[in-house]
Amino acid sequence: MDRLHIEHCLLKQSSYFRHIIYSFILLFISTLIGTIFFQLHIQVFNSIFGPFHLNLEQFIQHVNNFKSQQSSSRFWKIEYIQVELNENNIQQSFNTYDIIRQYSDPVTRQYSIATYKKVQYPDIYVKLPTSTQEYFHAQFPFRFHLYSIRTLKCIVKNLPSDSEMTHRSWVEKIDYVKYIKKQYDKNSTQFNRAILTKCGILIGYLYRPRNEKAFIQGKQHQFYSFDIALNITQPYYPFYKFLICGLIALWLLLKTLFYIILYLRNIIRCKILHKYGLTKISLKLSKNVQEELWLLNLDGSPHEQLFKFDEFVRQCEHRFNNQLLIIENDQNHLFIVLFQVDLQKCSTIHYESSPFIICPESDIRIIRHDEGILYGKDLSKIPWPITMTGEQNFAEWLHQELMEISSGYRQRYQQRLQNERSGQQQYVTFRNRHRLSIHQHRDVSNRSIVHSSYMARLIHEEENFQTLKLERQSIGQRIYERDSPASARFIAEFRMKHEQNKIIVDTKMANEQIQCIVCLEYLKLNEQYAPWPCPGKKKHIFHYQCMLSSLRSKNKCPLCRHEVEGVPMPTIQNLMPELFRHLVL
């Protein structure tokens, strides 16, 4: 049960592993598509670490690289920038008709959303939002401490008139930075209107405006393919897109890590810590297991019953292939235990199913090879373990063991031998075929029929014995077993003869130390023995019970192979209907 529980926990490993693989593949494919087709890695890099500060010389180099599509790194290209163009480097138009404008509706040209201004050096455009746009009033993430003193003085100088007198006594750069940040936090709109183009401090990214429609003096302005603009009308990467992509990537990453942790936790917990007794895993008993344990009539909780059952199994002396056991409880009652798997191996049965089936010996009515154990008045079936092979005859072993250790089973079996009728047997056709062959053989040999009621009862018992033995044989055994038992009449005559005239070992025979070749034991004083009807002066003798068992198995002498009257063996053609039924079922 512990191995089953551990294996049930480990069954989740494949599910965990699939989740890891699928999540990783999905994350990898998403990253690959975003990297190749959308350059998400560059946008993420610039969004997290940008804007990158560029002075005028660095910006000129950046523009030249943009024109030639060159970059120092293909994967970590700088796009989101904070530039320092110096004072009065951006064209200031005093005539509104000379301003290049972009409209929300190019047809009506009523609402201006952006303006384009020329930069003297380098030769590019700056695209600025108009006052009607939300981004015009935005607070840009300026890093003022990176600007030069000259630019900082320009900023302070162009702030409200009372600022000019304030900075005259400042020596340290940090004083300018603190003051500018304070003023920017107060009124970002006024700051953007007065400072950005005047002092040339801008935050944005380069792009080519060749497909944009702009107008100047009522005419459409033509942008060329070589024109470049610095766009500051919108964020470099919209926050909602960054949030969505980030959440998806984070979800896939956390999901992958979560199942990796579960996978490793199960391995460490079940295969290492539990194996060496460093941790305990609570054992859960299914309802089916508890119902099976209830049959043992034991006191205590289900777990206590399980430990008691485990003790019975360990002490069991009657076991076959570690899958079929006969145990005895504290009240000396016998129980048959069928394990669905080998005790020494792990199981693959369903976790909710019981790995064992318990049947009281007193409930057993019939044991058959193909159907299993039939118990109760309604002859309910307990099938043999699914791992049973053709070489494993559970039925024969269980019958022999119960005949030896259970008086109740022996009594019920004897009653079947005496009272069973041919019409109630499963193997009716095969049995009737045997009886017909016997009667035909009697007619040929012209044997006289004994009308004694006792003799008839013995013959009936032996016929039932042979029929019930067939119940416990597989179809393969019947095909390949070519040794025929002695006929029911011959065995009945043998039993009647030696029951009426018992032959007992005397002192002389005991001293001769004659060995019974069947059981390999010496004949002892006052034991009953019987000779085999072999030709010749010296008869081969055996224990009476040994010879009876031998006659019921084979009609040949164990020593000289001399044959007595036997049951005709069925042909392959006779067994074909039953073989076909077995294959279909």
Query: Tokens for 358?
Result: 């318990």
**DSSP summary character for residue 486:** B
Identify the bridge partners of residue 529 per DSSP, sorted by sequence position: 543
Exposed, middle or buried by CB within 10 Å (0-12, 13-18, 19+), for 40?
buried
- DSSP class per residue in 113-153: EEEEEEETTTTEEEEEE-TTSGGGG------GGGS-HHHHH
Contact 357, 291 (CB under 8 A): no
CA distances from 312 to 323, 332, 368, 544 (A): 14, 11, 26, 36
Contact 414, 336 (CB under 8 A): no
From 437, 453, 454, select the one nearest 445 (Cα to Cα): 437
| Close Cβ partners of 326 (under 8 Å, ≥ 6 residues apart) | 316, 318, 319, 334, 335, 336, 337, 361, 398, 401, 402, 405
Which one-letter amino acid corresponds to residue 376? G
From CA 13, how far away is CA 260, in angstroms rounded?
10
From 21, 17, 40, select the one nearest 30 (Cα to Cα): 40
What residues of the chain score a pLDDT lower than 70?
A: 70-75, 94-97, 161-166, 280-281, 341-352, 386-392, 420-452, 470-482, 569-585
- pLDDT tens for 89-139 read 998 776 666 789 999 988 888 889 999 999 998 999 999 999 989 989 999
From CA 394, how far away is CA 40, in angstroms rounded?
68
Phi and psi based region of residue 297 (left: phi greater than 0; alpha: psi -120 to 50; beta: remaining): left
CA distances from 560 to 2, 515, 532, 544 (A): 55, 15, 10, 18
- pLDDT tens for 387-437 read 555 545 788 889 889 988 999 988 888 887 777 654 344 333 334 444 444
Identify the bridge partners of residue 324 per DSSP, sorted by sequence position: 320, 338
From 582, 62, 220, select the one nearest 371 (Cα to Cα): 582
From CA 446, how far away is CA 73, in angstroms rounded?
111
**Residue 449: how many CA atoms within 13 Å on its side-chain side?**
10
From 311, 250, 246, 279, select the one nearest 47 (Cα to Cα): 246
* 436 alpha carbon, distance to own chain's centre: 57
Q: What is the pLDDT of residue 452?
A: 57
**Residue 88: how many CA atoms within 13 Å on its side-chain side?**
0
From CA 81, how far away is CA 228, in angstroms rounded?
15
Query: Tokens for 456?
Result: 């008839």
Q: Which CATH number fits domain 486-582: 3.30.300.160, 3.30.40.10, 1.10.468.10, 2.170.120.20?
A: 3.30.40.10
Return phi, psi of residue 42, to 5°.
-70, -40
What is the helix (H) or strand (E) element at residue 237, kind and residue range? none
From CA 10, how far away is CA 275, in angstroms rounded?
13
- pLDDT tens for 487-500 read 888 888 888 888 88
- Alpha helices by DSSP H, 346-427: 394-405, 407-419
From CA 483, how far away is CA 469, in angstroms rounded?
14
Q: What is the pLDDT of residue 379?
A: 83
Query: Tokens for 156?
Result: 């302070």
From 492, 498, 493, 494, select the one nearest 418 (Cα to Cα): 492
Beta-strand pair 372-375/364-368: antiparallel
* 77 alpha carbon, distance to own chain's centre: 45
**DSSP summary character for residue 345:** S
Contact 331, 342 (CB under 8 A): no
Cis peptide before 302 (omega within 30 of 0): no
Q: Domains of the chain: which residue ranges?
A: 77-209, 220-281, 287-342+352-384, 395-433, 486-582
Return phi, psi of residue 468, to 5°.
-65, -30
Q: What is the pLDDT of residue 553?
A: 83
CA distances from 323 to 127, 270, 388 (A): 84, 25, 9
SS3 assignment, position 200? coil
Whether this prediction's pTM lies above 0.85 is answered by no
- Burial pattern 502-531, b for ≥16 Cβ within 10 A else e, equals eeebeeebeeeebebebeeeebeeebebbe
Contact 89, 119 (CB under 8 A): yes
